[in-house]
């Protein structure tokens, strides 16, 4: 769920607001409609398209409350910097994922992401807006403030992408820069920590490129020391230990990822194969609740799923798993599937017989 607001104003006067509770990325319908609006040669038609966009968004009491807040506190509603200046940042500390603000007076569109100004376009800059809309995910990836070495040396180029008009280049030239930079990014760490089921623990996700596959790493504090665990399909395994702070643990994880990203990326095929096999077994077990099946038929079906898993495992046995812990690899995956079947399917079949 990616929430957003579209705001139409004339100078300091706020005219209309539309709220969307999902799909508010620049690449979504909102961004596409704004490209259509700004590319129109008529200013009147531009405003009319934005009005229609706002009118087509969610209409309920919450939307009305948003409009009331906007008129009450003005720019501080969507701009964290403005909120801080008037002392409202502590009160209005949460900003919707995206806010799109078009000013009729200046003919300028601003895009805010969680209260931070991401882009600013005058109406005649609509080709750059189209670039953002059509390549949102690529540009968003490049905007990460990550300390790993894959990002070192490209900061200046990223700033050119983020400040496209100041770079003085065409949209196509900027896109070529962005694509070139993306090829040098091997992984991206989530911007924020998320909650975890363990006490005194939080987690971060890591997306590997170009596969776009993800792993979770858990940061847990024990007696003043921070440890990092990797979430495997069958267990959480310790990876980094005895760090003096969570920041130090993060730095060590970045250093570890820098040296092992290729191994992690190749190993994700095994990770997904295991989860796929486990899901097929669960789907079979769930279907058995509604059919009559003998024990031999039950065991034969389970065995066929396991056989298929082992067959698909063969080409993965020669991949590089050196960056993973010793608790991960093809041999361990075969044992874990066999153990999971042994512990689970007898109980499942007993339940079927009693139904």
Kindly state the average pLDDT of the residues 155-184: 65
Residue 37 scores a pLDDT above 70: yes
Tokens of 344: 């689970």
**pLDDT tens track for 96-115:** 689 999 999 999 999 998 88
Tokens 């609509």 map to which residue? 126
Question: Is pLDDT larger for residue 248 or for residue 188?
Answer: 248
Question: Is pLDDT larger for residue 225 or for residue 58?
Answer: 225
Residue extents of the structural domains in the chain: 4-123, 135-185, 194-354
Q: Averaging pLDDT over each range in 59-63, 188-192, 238-242, which range is the top one?
A: 238-242
Q: What is the chain's mean pLDDT, rounded? A: 84
Query: Of 163, 174, 142, 51, which is closest to residue 102 (Cα–Cα)?
Result: 51
CA–CA distance, 102 with 30 (Å, rounded to integer): 13
Burial of 61 from C-beta contacts in 10 A (0-12 / 13-18 / 19+): exposed
Residue 286's alpha-carbon distances to 289, 293, 296, in angstroms, are 6, 13, 17
Before 210, cis peptide (omega within 30)?
yes
Kindly state the average pLDDT of the residues 62-78: 87
CA–CA distance, 273 with 279 (Å, rounded to integer): 10
CA–CA distance, 227 with 257 (Å, rounded to integer): 15
Tokens of 298: 């039950």
**pLDDT tens track for 47-59:** 999 999 999 887 7
Contact 253, 217 (CB under 8 A): yes
């Amino acid at each position: 769920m990616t929430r957003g607001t579209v705001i139409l104003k004339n100078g300091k006067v706020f005219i209309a607001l539309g709220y969307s509770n999902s799909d508010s990325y620049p690449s979504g319908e909102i961004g596409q409609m704004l490209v259509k609006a700004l590319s129109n040669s008529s200013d009147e038609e531009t405003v009319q398209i934005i009005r229609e966009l706002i009118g087509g968004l969610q209409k309920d009491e919450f939307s009305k409350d948003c409009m009331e807040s906007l008129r009450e506190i003005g720019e501080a509603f969507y701009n964290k910097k403005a909120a801080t200046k008037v002392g409202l940042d502590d009160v209005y500390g949460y900003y919707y994922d995206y806010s799109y603000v078009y000013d009729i007076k200046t003919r300028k569109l601003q895009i805010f992401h969680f209260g931070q100004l991401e882009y600013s376009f005058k109406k005649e800059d609509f080709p750059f807006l189209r670039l953002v809309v059509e390549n949102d995910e690529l540009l968003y990836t490049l905007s990460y403030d990550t300390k790993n070495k894959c990002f070192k040396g490209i900061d200046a180029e990223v700033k050119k992408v983020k400040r496209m008009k100041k770079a003085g280049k065409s949209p196509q030239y900027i896109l070529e820069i962005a694509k070139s930079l993306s090829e040098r990014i091997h992984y991206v760490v989530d911007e924020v920590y998320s909650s975890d089921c363990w006490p005194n623990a939080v987690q971060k996700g890591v997306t590997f490129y170009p596969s776009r596959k993800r792993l979770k790493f858990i940061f847990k504090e024990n007696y003043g020391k921070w440890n990092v665990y990797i979430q495997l399909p069958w267990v959480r395994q310790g990876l980094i230990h005895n760090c003096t702070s969570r920041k130090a643990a993060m730095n060590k994880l970045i250093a570890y990822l820098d040296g092992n990203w290729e191994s992690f990326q190749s190993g994700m095929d095994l990770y997904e194969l295991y989860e796929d096999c486990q899901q097929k077994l669960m789907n079979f077990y769930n279907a058995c609740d509604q059919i009559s099946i003998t024990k031999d038929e039950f065991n034969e079906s389970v065995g066929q799923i396991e056989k298929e898993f082992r067959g698909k495992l063969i080409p993965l046995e020669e991949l590089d798993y050196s960056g993973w812990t010793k608790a991960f690899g093809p041999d361990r995956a075969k044992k874990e599937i066999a153990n999971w079947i042994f512990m689970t399917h007898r109980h499942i079949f007993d339940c079927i017989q009693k139904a």
